[in-house]
Each structure stands twice: as structure tokens, then as C-alpha cells.
């Protein structure tokens, strides 16, 4: 089942999304604050999406699709969820840069969190954001995430170790 926001629709990802995912993962500006893996071919990305286990309570990956034009613009995931703890980690990025700064990430975050709290019955969603990624930090705060701590030297970019904010959102705090 897809999840609808005002600007985006969250939907399952499949092999047909491999070209976009490959392009985003090889764009230094998109990946600036993301942990990068090793270079892959578009075929390898498609194979990974084909062989990936189907979405489940513990690991749900959504494509972020613009409702206005149907274009896949990013991805968002809730993973590590366990019913015993009611907690999941959230990851997001928009790969299509012409959608940055226009409310799509905020809407995708709200939609994914609403899905996590309402459909998955989570109590807490958490994430990390690299210090210096001010745009993302602002989006997370805007929808209700609270800074809970700081992970020292948790991310390496351009030979430099950077700290990361640990942020959390409890059910009932989503704005």
C-alpha cells in the first residue's frame, strides 16, 4: 500500500528505479552528507533492487514520487523496526536536485513518519544528520524531531571527521 502526502506519494521501489538510484548515488552533490558505498554499475543496482527482500515491518524502503508529475525524486526508509521496542531508524534523500527547497523532503518526512506511527504502530523514530547539513537539520526540526545527542566524529568526508546530531521523534510530536 502506498502512502500519500500533499506533494509526494511513497511507493515500493523496484528494478525499474535502478537508473535513477544509480545516477543519484554517483552525484557528489547529492551524496555529500551520505555514507557512500563503492561504485556500482546500473545493472548491479537493478539486481540489488530485484533481489532485495520485500518490504516488511523491520525494513521498509519507499520511493518518493512527486504527485504532480509522477517522477521518482528520492527514497526514504524505515529500518531496524522491532515491535518489541516500537522504534525505527529513518533515512531519506532526494536525488533530483530541482525538487530541493520546495517542500518535497518535508512532505516525504511527514508522510513516512505518519506511516510509521499510524500503520506500523511505532512509538519512536530516530535519525542522524551530519553537523553542517543545515537544510536537512532544519527540515527535521520543523516536523518535530528533537536533538537528543551528538555523535562525535561519526562521519568522514574529504579526509575530515564530522560530528552528527542524533535526533528523535515520538508519536504525538509530529508537526
Q: Quick one: pLDDT at residue 56?
A: 87
Q: Quick one: pLDDT at residue 44?
A: 83
Q: Is the pLDDT of residue 145 over 80?
A: yes
Query: Any alpha helices (H) in 32-158, and if so which ranges?
Result: 42-51, 104-118, 134-142
Q: Quick one: pLDDT at residue 1?
A: 65
List pLDDT tens digits, range 129-139.
999 999 999 99
List pLDDT tens digits, range 66-119.
999 999 999 999 999 999 999 999 999 999 999 999 999 999 999 999 999 999
Q: For residue 137, what is its C-alpha cell? A: 537539520
C-beta separation of 21 from 49 below 8 A? yes
Handedness of CA 76, 81, 83, 87 (dihedral sign): negative
Q: What is the mean pLDDT of the chain?
A: 93
CATH 1.10.132.20 is held by the domain 3-122: no
List pLDDT tens digits, range 16-72.
999 999 999 989 999 888 887 767 887 887 788 888 777 888 999 999 999 999 999
pTM: 0.92
Residues in CB range of 126: below 8 A, 6 or more apart: 87, 88, 89, 90, 148, 166, 167, 168, 169
Amino acid at each position: 500500500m502506498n502512502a500519500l502526502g500533499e506533494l509526494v506519494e511513497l511507493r515500493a521501489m523496484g528494478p525499474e528505479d535502478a537508473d535513477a538510484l544509480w545516477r543519484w548515488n554517483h552525484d557528489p552533490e547529492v551524496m555529500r552528507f551520505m555514507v557512500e558505498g563503492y561504485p556500482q554499475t546500473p545493472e548491479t543496482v537493478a539486481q540489488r533492487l530485484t533481489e532485495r527482500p520485500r518490504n516488511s515491518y523491520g525494513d521498509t524502503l519507499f520511493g518518493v514520487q512527486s504527485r504532480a508529475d509522477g517522477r521518482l525524486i528520492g527514497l526514504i526508509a524505515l529500518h531496524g523496526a522491532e515491535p518489541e521496542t516500537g522504534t525505527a531508524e529513518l533515512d531519506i534523500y532526494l536525488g533530483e536536485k530541482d525538487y530541493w527547497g520546495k517542500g518535497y523532503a518535508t512532505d516525504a518526512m511527514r508522510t513516512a513518519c505518519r506511516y510509521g506511527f499510524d500503520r506500523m504502530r511505532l512509538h519512536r523514530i530516530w535519525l542522524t544528520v551530519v553537523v553542517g547539513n543545515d537544510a536537512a537539520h532544519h527540515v527535521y526540526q520543523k516536523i518535530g524531531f528533537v536533538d537528543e545527542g551528538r555523535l562525535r566524529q561519526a562521519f568522514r568526508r574529504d579526509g575530515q571527521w564530522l560530528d552528527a546530531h542524533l535526533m528523535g521523534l515520538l508519536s504525538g510530536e509530529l508537526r
